[in-house]
Amino acid sequence: MRVTAAVLETPGKPLALREVELGPPRPDEVLVRMSSVGICATDLEFATFFEAPAVLGHEGAGIVEAVGDQVSSVSPGDHVAMTFTSCGLCRPCLTGSPAYCLRFDALNFTGRRPDGSSAVSLGGTEINAHFLGQSAFADHVIAPARAVVPIGKEADLTLAGPFGCGFQTGAGGVLNVLRPSPGSSLAVFGAGAVGVASVLAAVLSGCSVIAAVDVNPERLATARSLGATHGVGGGDGTAEELRSIAPDGFDFVLDTTGRADVLRTAVEALAPLGHCGVIGVGPSPEMTFDWRSVLNGRTITGIIGGGAMPQVFMPELLALQAAGRFPVDRIVTRFPFERIGEAAEAARTGTVGKAVLTF
Ligand SMILES: [Zn+2]
Ligand SMILES: [Zn+2]
């Protein structure tokens, strides 16, 4: 079928709306007519180097239009959100941690199905797609059934997409991995969409001190309005400011920035026995720490996808959102799909909390 996709034609250049050919779903795949797709920092990063031509996008939500013969988890007409895919067969998958699938990179980041094919063709030639299980910058998407999560007809389809990546990642890092006890202290570094989801999860957990750290004062104001007890401006005075908020150090810290210098500050802000979650992926390939700052019983845990089982966690988060207890809708700005260039720029510069394209 002919569909419209935002195609990365040259890395580093804006995406271009193009008519592409989308093949039918294979036995284990689902065809989804898209309602919305969020723009995540990972899309913007991959758009600078991914092998073109390619279709990116990995926070899609929509309505199932067709399913392959072997698919029993969803049916045509179901409302769904999409997330990363996984093999379902390896030890991490079988023990409930599909984000740590042994084949995660091969299945999510090669632009191809495992057999080397692609569902998307441009001018008669297959192009890279299947990005994080979906390639959702298109009005129709082919996704493996494992990447498709039924969300019920009550969920807002113009909001549900980012629950498959950004919101799940930020909230899951707190609720699934750090698991702060009520009354504990937590500092979140970076108050973008992921950081805000972490702040909201800290509120849900009953943390008594929730510090948001960001150089952008508007983001800090948003984090404060959503439950952060302190806003810290980042920069040189950060360590001292955090020390004045939690003199013995924080019980938990979470880095969403991926910056090596920020991560070091985050670890050094921990109390003895404190736990640091690492979510952000940045340009620096290495992180370094003074040995004294980690020898003190501290733990550093890398986190992908919020450590979640998406089929369980995404509906839970959406139910919390519907109940007003996870109000991520307050940071969402919607754009028509045709304005993807403008939306991507707004996401890149941080003028919007979370950009969502609607179809
Ligand atoms: Zn993402
Ligand atoms: Zn696996």
What would the pLDDT profile of 14-68 be if each residue is shown by its tens digit?
999 999 999 999 999 999 999 999 999 999 999 999 999 999 999 999 999 999 9
Looking at the fold, whether 237 and 288 belong to one and the same domain comes out as yes
Residues 6 or more apart from 295 whose CB is under 8 A from it?
A: none
Measured in Å, residue 41 CA sits from the centre of ligand 1 at 6
Q: What is the DSSP letter of 280?
A: -
What is the three-class DSSP state of 37?
A: strand
Looking at the fold, whether 54 and 127 belong to one and the same domain comes out as yes
Q: Which ligand is nearest to the CA of 101?
A: 2
Residues 6 or more apart from 54 whose CB is under 8 A from it?
A: 7, 8, 111, 127, 128, 129, 131, 135
Looking at the fold, whether 191 and 299 belong to one and the same domain comes out as yes
CATH code of 151's domain:
3.90.180.10
Measured in Å, residue 240 CA sits from the centre of ligand 1 at 32
Q: Residue 119, Cβ neighbours under 10 Å: how many?
A: 25
Q: 274 lies in which domain range?
A: 169-305
Chunked mean pLDDT (size 10), the chain, 359 residues: 98 96 98 98 94 98 98 98 97 97 97 97 97 97 98 95 97 98 98 97 98 96 97 93 98 96 95 95 83 90 96 97 97 97 94 96
Looking at the fold, whether 26 and 134 belong to one and the same domain comes out as yes
Measured in Å, residue 216 CA sits from the centre of ligand 1 at 21
pLDDT at 73: 97
The counts of H helices and E strands in the chain are 11, 18
Q: Which of 196, 182, 160 is nearest to 279 (CA)?
A: 196
pLDDT at 253: 98
pLDDT at 17: 97
* 187 domain-assigned: yes
Measured in Å, residue 137 CA sits from the centre of ligand 1 at 13
Looking at the fold, whether 48 and 143 belong to one and the same domain comes out as yes
Q: Which of 150, 123, 178, 171 is nearest to 63 (CA)?
A: 150
Looking at the fold, whether 93 and 197 belong to one and the same domain comes out as no
pLDDT at 283: 76
Strands (E), 170-243: 185-189, 209-213, 230-232
**Domains held by the chain: number:** 2
Looking at the fold, whether 80 and 97 belong to one and the same domain comes out as yes
* 311 domain-assigned: no
pLDDT at 304: 96
* 310 domain-assigned: no
Measured in Å, residue 111 CA sits from the centre of ligand 2 at 18
Measured in Å, residue 103 CA sits from the centre of ligand 2 at 6
Looking at the fold, whether 20 and 138 belong to one and the same domain comes out as yes
Measured in Å, residue 43 CA sits from the centre of ligand 1 at 7
Q: Which ligand is nearest to the CA of 85?
A: 2
* 9 domain-assigned: yes
Looking at the fold, whether 278 and 337 belong to one and the same domain comes out as no
Measured in Å, residue 83 CA sits from the centre of ligand 1 at 9
Measured in Å, residue 161 CA sits from the centre of ligand 2 at 23
* 315 domain-assigned: no
CATH code of 238's domain:
3.40.50.720
* 316 domain-assigned: no
Q: Which ligand is nearest to the CA of 106?
A: 2
Measured in Å, residue 92 CA sits from the centre of ligand 2 at 6
pLDDT at 294: 86
Looking at the fold, whether 25 and 153 belong to one and the same domain comes out as yes
Measured in Å, residue 304 CA sits from the centre of ligand 2 at 14
* 111 domain-assigned: yes
Looking at the fold, whether 14 and 157 belong to one and the same domain comes out as yes
